[in-house]
Amino acid sequence: MPSAVELKSRMQSISKTKKVTDAMYMISSVKMRQAKREVSNTEPYFNALSQKIGGLLRYIPDTQNRYFHTELAGRIHARHGILLITSDKGLAGSYNHSAIAVAQEYMSRHPETVLFIIGEYGRQYFTSKKIPFVEDFYCSANAPSVWGAQKICAVLMEYFDEGKLDEINVIFTDYKNGRPSECRRACLIPLDKSIFRNKTDENDIGHTGYKEFIPDAETVLSEIVPSYITGSLYSYLVDSYCSEQEARMTAMKTAGDNAEDMLKSLKSQYNSIRQSAITREMTEITSGEKALKKKT
């Protein structure tokens, strides 16, 4: 059985660890609220872009724009790309492992997939497994921003525009109703026209006449789509970031609760040892007093 000194040292160590986990819980909580506030501020702009694209497609429903799925016979998306969103750090439960598992499952079906990774955790994992990825594509998962999403989008669009990739998907952790949902895959590009079917600018509702586009509708559509993809990507980044913080909060709360339980158990042992020591000392004092009385 450990001594009272050893138990006291362990309790002090666990108390310090609990302070760290409690602090990490609070930090993650603040980060998540900030991210949710930022995305709510940008939603109106990207919703308006979506409506504009819906309005454009009303005038050119048969467009063969390269940024949209086409019905050309024999078109096969042979060159796949994956943007995997992980965190920069661990201590977030199964958050990273779930995303990595989805990416590996997809890559098992498409062995030639070009892998882009956001977050140091994912980079370290695939480096350790010697699985190739685009190493000069380096993006932090911390504090997602529209500016950061624009940089990422520019790189991905370059691969797509140059014909290096036919389809680019993003793997992220969804965040719904204030809690992380399942990790899932979404097609970033090419886009599906059907998602814009009911997203039309109020000015275009009921309007069936001629509308002039300068220089032309196809060019306007091609210029708007990258901004829309940036918005979609930004929402995926924020969803993943909020899910990461929520997962870390859960992990830190569990660690704090476990530390509390350990402290209670150790405190009980410590008090028991102290009580035994006090009882022993009182017994020795009483025995010594009796011995002195016999001598006298």
Output the pLDDT for position 72.
46
Identify the H or E element spanning 9. helix 4-59
* In the block, residue with structure tokens 């979506």: 50
**Residues 157, 121, 113, CA angle at the centre, nearest 5°?**
40
DSSP state of 143: S
- Reply yes or no on domain 22-250 having CATH 3.90.550.10: no
DSSP state of 68: B
- Alpha-carbon torsion angle 195, 197, 201, 206, nearest 10: -170
Q: Which of 238, 243, 256 is nearest to 95 (CA)?
A: 243
The segments of the chain whose pLDDT lies below 70 read 1, 70-77, 177-181, 198-211, 288-293, 295-296
Q: Give the rounded percent of residues in the chain with a pLDDT score beyond 90.
A: 28
Helix (H, G, I), strand (E, B) or coil at 11: helix
Output the pLDDT for position 76.
57
Q: Which residues of 132-145 are buried (b: 16+ CB within 10 A; e: fewer)?
A: ebeeebebebeebe
Output the pLDDT for position 233.
92
Output the pLDDT for position 133.
95
Q: Which residues of 81-105 are buried (b: 16+ CB within 10 A; e: fewer)?
A: bbbbbbbbeeebbebbebbbebbee
Cα–Cα distance measured from residue 258 to residue 264, given in angstroms and rounded to the nearest whole number = 10
Domain spans of the chain, in order of start = 4-19+252-295, 22-250
State pTM to two decimals.
0.79
Cα–Cα distance measured from residue 84 to residue 51, given in angstroms and rounded to the nearest whole number = 28
Output the pLDDT for position 205.
47
Output the pLDDT for position 105.
93
Output the pLDDT for position 70.
64
Cα–Cα distance measured from residue 60 to residue 217, given in angstroms and rounded to the nearest whole number = 7
Residue type, position 279, single letter: T
Cα–Cα distance measured from residue 177 to residue 90, given in angstroms and rounded to the nearest whole number = 24
| Residues with Cβ within 8 Å of residue 1, at least 6 apart in sequence | 269, 273
DSSP 195-260: GGTT---GGGTT--S----SS-HHHHHHHHHHHHHHHHHHHHHHHHHHHHHHHHHHHHHHHHHHHH
How do 167-176 and 179-189 pair as beta strands?
antiparallel
Residue 260: C-alpha distances to residues 8, 14, 123, 272 (Å): 15, 9, 35, 18
